[in-house]
Amino acid sequence: MSTSTHQTKYSTQLQTDPLVTTYYVRDLEFWYGDFNALTNISLDVMPSAITAFIGPSGCGKSTFLRCMNRMNDLIPDTKVGGKMLLKGADIYSSGVDPVDLRRRVGMIFQQPNPFPQSIYDNVAYGPRLQGVKKKSDLDDIVEDSLKRANLWKEVSGILDKNGLAISGGQQQRLCIARVLAVQPEVLLMDEPCSAIDPTSVQKIEDLMAEIKDEVTIIIVTHNMQQAARVSDYTSFFLQEVAGEPAVLVESGKTSDIFTAPIDKRTEDYITGRFG
């Protein structure tokens, strides 16, 4: 446990019952080898809502996001401490299968990363892994997922085209369709819009609003406008001294954070005065 005296400010009180949350995180710590990247992170991620993680570059937003589906397990020599419950279940308790966890918690990356296969095969990848074999079932899933990802109209005639042969913004929506095809409960998005065109950004923001009732969404973004526009809750991360662990400065409803931030540093950051 950390000796830090840091105190996160909450505009909304933390829940006491993990079962009303999607993620219930308490005193989370994270190490890359000897480097303590995160300390003392406690926050709730509420269901059927969009939560934004904001903060300057290098403050551990991606690191924290990757803790939430145990992608950090793939990096050798990393360590997690504290509590991270998904709908009441500790995802780090021994015996939990990270592969199954990742089926339930989808992830979208900053760089669109479709497989060098056809658009159809990209979307059918997850369902096929789960044993869906019937062509008609796959067809339905592919169409439905592409529709939900706001991409169907653009690609319905070119499903056998390589997933890399479409525009970056379309590729990102293809990646979203690929994830939606396995019906995740949570969608983690790590700066999904930072490398793509405005029209696609708009389409992605629209689809986020459309699916958020079924899929809890967490989005990392450097765009304050976007955070304010799409999210219901916001958490502000900060690493004040290089080499020291990053902390959660403030967390709460987006409407509170962006209109009446409690911490001076939050205000400075969202108004662009530092970071």
Q: Which does 226 bind (CB under 5 to 8 A by kind): other proteins, Mg ion, ligand ATP, none?
A: other proteins
**Contact between 62 and Mg ion per CB under 5 A:** yes
Strands in the chain per DSSP E: 9-10, 23-32, 35-45, 50-54, 78-86, 89-90, 105-108, 186-190, 216-220, 233-238, 247-253
> What is the bridge-based pairing of β-strands 50-54 and 35-45?
unpaired
103 in Cβ contact with 183 (< 8 Å): no
Report in angstroms how near the CB of residue 220 gets to other proteins at its nearest: 14
The residue from 59, 149, 177, 208 that contacts ligand ATP (CB under 6 A) is 59
**Residue 97, phi-psi category: left (phi > 0), alpha (psi -120 to 50), beta (remainder):** beta
147 in Cβ contact with 174 (< 8 Å): no
> Under the rule (CB under 8 A), what is the footprint of other proteins?
49-50, 69, 71, 74, 99-104, 106-107, 109, 111, 113-117, 125-126, 128-129, 162, 164-168, 171, 175, 178-179, 182, 198, 201-202, 212, 223-226, 228-229, 232, 253-255, 258-259, 267, 270-272
The residue type found at 33 is G
Report in angstroms how near the CB of residue 166 gets to other proteins at its nearest: 6
Q: Which residues form the interface with Mg ion (CB under 5 A)?
A: 62
Q: Which residues form the interface with ligand ATP (CB under 6 A)?
A: 32, 35, 37, 55, 57-63, 75
